[in-house]
Structures are given as structure tokens and as C-alpha cells.
A and B are shown apart, each in its own frame.
Chain A
């Protein structure tokens, strides 16, 4: 590399102030500074300039970050986030548990016909419906009728069925629920104030 001229050293001083100078260049700059009063003065001016701009910084309004967080509306991508799905998944797990409890309650000696028999009937119905093709819809209504009859015949099953309905409602609510922005921007507040 050729020996840099004076204007190059002035550019290097700027780059050095921004941490953009290579080690070798920096060493050459320091060497030059040792013998150049003009460049030393230039460096001092640069430092003073940086401080001047720093001192002119505008302080951020108190509570700015909280206001922004409160004003965040629901974003489209949030519907796909794991946290959004956590509640529905928990409800779905609960539903499975309730279904298990229903089966246990239905198979107790006091209940008749048994839940297993009802499920078996549904299974048979589905098999028949698959085979029958066009008879699927009618067979489904028959199976649902059997299940409802089984559910209302036992207090335990009836309670569990009620809980199941409640959970389904919660699931539905969680899926359609949307958070509303709870704060308005400062401009909105000012506009509301009749500016």
C-alpha cells in the first residue's frame, strides 16, 4: 500500500471514530498523529462533535414502551403462535379426559345400557354406513340417538356431558376471541382532546 496522503488520514480519523478502521490502518494513523498537530486537532474536534450530538439527544417520553405494548393490536400471525394454541389444546385434552370419564361412568353397574355397548353400536353403525354408502346420514342419527339415550340415563354421564358442552363452548370462545388494543396513541388522545 502506498503511503496515504493527509486527506486520507482525515478520512481515517472519521472511520476510526466509528470503529471502521482496520488494525493495520489504525497503527499507521497513530503513527501519523504522533507527528501531525493538525490531525490531532481534527481528532479532538471529532470527539467534541460526537459529544455535542450525544448531549442534544431527546429523552424518550416516560412510559413510552408501556404505551406501545398496550397499543399493540392482534396481528394476523398470532393465530398461528404456539401460545395462542395453548388454551385450545388444553381444552381438547380436557375433552378427551371427559370422554374417558363418560365411558367409565357408563360402564358402572348402575347404568344400563353400558357406554361400551353404545360405542359399539356407533361403531357398528359407522361400519354399516360405510358399507351402505348412501345410508350414512340416517345411520348417524341413529347412533347419536343411542348415545344421547345412554347419557341421560346416568347422572354421572349426564354431569360429564354437561361439562363437555361447557368445554366446547370455552374452546369456541378461545378460537374467536380477539384482544382489543387497550390504549390509544398520544396523538389519538390529543385529537380526542379537541386539537
Chain B
């Protein structure tokens, strides 16, 4: 997201909310909803679950906002809560690793609703293939790389925040992101020329 210098920081918005200006929490939601939903979508592999959990996470964060320590980035805190919530949900539901399809109430498989930048029958097909391939490639990564790739590419967290969140040295984060990205690129090489 592009931000002008005059825009309030996350920490300013949190202070405003704690000062009684509840609407400023809406600004924080606007700022993070896309990243949060996409991050959770890649972890949970389901768009509805991702939206629901993102809502739960935001509500939870609001309820304990007075415990936020401004010496840390708000985004670090938010994604830590989100990651813990997602892991809890994955454990609770014992999600199976699926690739392209999921079952609806009638037991019929259906494709996930992925964005469709390409129009026309061929474009739609290509989008589905691509969306499925990306998810499969991400799912195929070892967890130690996957969690960092998701935080970086879908949570859009900078390296320093990832290091703080995962309590890893910055050099380890750099190394794991490099290796994880190389693995992903290799798996997705057929789609890189699109």
C-alpha cells in the first residue's frame, strides 16, 4: 500500500482508538484487511474460512488493544495473533492437505474462487491452473520456509518484522526466504512466462 507522509502511523491510529475514537480502528482494518485475508487464505486454503478468521483476529485484537506495546510494530503483533489463530484452527479442524479442490455440502468438488485477471474461456482455465499451482507449490514447501514466504509475500511484512515475529536472526530470515523463494520459483517456472 502506498502511503503519504501525512498519513497517521499504525501506532497513531491505535492511540486514537484507545483514546476513544473507535472509528480509527476502521482505518486499521482498511490498511490490513487485504494482507490479512490473503495470508490466512494461503494457510487455511479456503476463502470463507480466511475471511471469518480474519474477522475473529481483528475483533480479538480490538478487545485487547490496550495490551499493545507501541515499541513493537502493530503489524508484527497483528500477524502473530493471526498466525496463532490459524494454527489453532488447522489443528482443531485437522485440515487435510488438499490441492485444487474442496468439497461443498453435497460432497461435490468445486474450484476455489480465485481472481480472474484473464478473461475468456482460455483465460479462466489458465487462471484456475495458475491459482491451483501456486497453492500446491506453497503447500509443498517445508513449514519452516512456507511460514516465512507467507509472511513476506502475502502478509507483506518486512524482513525485520518477520525476524522479530519468528524470533530468528535477520540473517536466518534472509537465507530461508531466499531458499524458499528458489523452491517456489522452480515449482512455478511454467507460469513465469505468462
Say yes or no: is B52 at the interface (Cβ < 8 Å to chain A). Answer: yes
Q: Identify A49's interface contact among B20, B22, B64, B188, CB under 8 A.
A: B188
Binds B, one of A52-60, A131-139, A140-148: A52-60
List residues 165-195 of chain A with CB under 8 A from any CB of chain B.
Answer: 185-187, 190, 195
Give the total of A residues in contact with B, Cβ under 8 Å.
Answer: 42
Q: Per-position contact with A for B53-79: 1 when CB-CB < 8 Å, else 0?
A: 011101100111110000000000000
Q: Is A65's CB under 8 angstroms from B66's CB?
A: no
Interface SS of chain B: helix, strand, loop or mixed?
A: helix
Q: Identify A53's interface contact among B41, B117, B134, B194, CB under 8 A.
A: B134
Give the complex CA separation of A54 and B63 in angstroms: 32
Q: Is B174's CB under 8 angstroms from A58's CB?
A: no
Q: Is B63's CB under 8 angstroms from A64's CB?
A: no
Q: Is A68's CB under 8 angstroms from B58's CB?
A: yes
Q: Is B131's CB under 8 angstroms from A69's CB?
A: no
Say yes or no: is A31 at the interface (Cβ < 8 Å to chain B). Answer: no
- What bracket does the count of chain B residues touching chain A fall in? 35 or more
List residues 77-92 of chain A with CB under 8 A from any CB of chain B.
Answer: 77-78, 80-84, 86
Q: Is B18's CB under 8 angstroms from A77's CB?
A: yes
Q: Is B181's CB under 8 angstroms from A14's CB?
A: yes
Give the complex CA separation of A110 and B20 in angstroms: 47
Q: Is B181's CB under 8 angstroms from A20's CB?
A: no
- A77: which B residues are within 8 A, CB to CB? 18, 65-66
- A82: which B residues are within 8 A, CB to CB? 19-20
Say yes or no: is A67 at the interface (Cβ < 8 Å to chain B). Answer: yes
Say yes or no: is A109 at the interface (Cβ < 8 Å to chain B). Answer: no
Say yes or no: is B168 at the interface (Cβ < 8 Å to chain A). Answer: no
Q: Identify A83's interface contact among B19, B56, B66, B174, CB under 8 A.
A: B19
A64 CB to nearest B CB, Å: 6
Give the complex CA separation of A81 and B114 in angstroms: 42
Q: Is A72's CB under 8 angstroms from B184's CB?
A: no
Say yes or no: is A45 at the interface (Cβ < 8 Å to chain B). Answer: yes
- A80: which B residues are within 8 A, CB to CB? 66
Q: Is B21's CB under 8 angstroms from A58's CB?
A: no
Q: Is A75's CB under 8 angstroms from B62's CB?
A: yes
Q: Is A68's CB under 8 angstroms from B188's CB?
A: no
Give the complex CA separation of A185 and B59 in angstroms: 10
Say yes or no: is A48 at the interface (Cβ < 8 Å to chain B). Answer: yes
Q: Identify B22's interface contact among A10, A53, A72, A186, CB under 8 A.
A: A72
- B105: which A residues are within 8 A, CB to CB? 195
B151 CB to nearest A CB, Å: 12
Which residues in B have some Cβ–Cβ distance to A below 8 Å?
18-23, 25-26, 29-30, 33-34, 37-38, 41, 47-48, 50-52, 54-56, 58-59, 62-66, 105, 113-115, 117, 130-131, 134, 152-154, 158-159, 174, 177-178, 181, 184-185, 188-189, 191-194
List 20 contacting pairs A-B, 8 Å CB cutoff, sorted by A. A14-B177, A14-B178, A48-B192, A49-B188, A49-B192, A55-B115, A56-B114, A57-B154, A58-B115, A64-B33, A64-B37, A69-B26, A72-B22, A73-B59, A75-B65, A77-B66, A80-B66, A84-B20, A186-B48, A195-B105
